[in-house]
Amino acid sequence: MDEYAENIFRVGEQPIHYVEAGKRGRQIALLIHGWSSSWYATSPLLGPLAQRFHCIAIDLPGYGQSPPFAERTTIPKYVDLLADLIEGISDGPVVLVGHSMGGMISLSLALQYPVLVERMVLLNPTITGRLSKAINFYISPITMMERFGIGG
């Protein structure tokens, strides 16, 4: 990655450290790292994605340079925070790029706030609990069609 800028967003009282690359005004690609990581885990993607998108790679609260939440952290809490963040920084839906736990957060965000997400790229997402049941609901018909040779 050649050029990037570091800064802090404030979502309510919560500071979020981020790195951005690419031209402002383009569609935003929001890169969300996995557990026990930081924005830097997504840094190899910034250069290629910045050729087409305005990339924002965040440090989730409690990781990298973003301080933790005041209360216990949960996936729904991350989802709501990122929904507020997207509404504050983007004029339209974003592309989510989520790795590991960031993939689970991305998927939860897309299911709960579909108007905020145009597309997703999930890299080794962690899918557990109620979320895995939601995924199976959407994937089961596709699997059945493939199994019985319907749809090519």
Domain boundaries, the chain: 5-126
Residues of the chain with pLDDT below 50 are 1, 142-144, 152
pLDDT value of residue 126: 81
Cα separation of 47 and 90, whole Å?
Answer: 20
> Which amino acid is residue 124, in one-letter code?
N
The three-state secondary structure class of 4 is coil
pLDDT value of residue 9: 95
**pTM for this prediction:** 0.83
* Residue 147 DSSP symbol: H
pLDDT value of residue 125: 87
Cβ(94)–Cβ(68) below 8 Å: no
5-23 pLDDT tens trace: 999 999 999 999 999 999 9
pLDDT value of residue 137: 58
HSE-CB for 89 with a 13 A CA cutoff: 26
Cα–Cα nearest to 30, from 88, 71, 73: 88
Element (H, E) at 109: helix 101-112
pLDDT value of residue 35: 92
pLDDT value of residue 66: 98
CATH number of the 5-126 domain: 3.40.50.1820
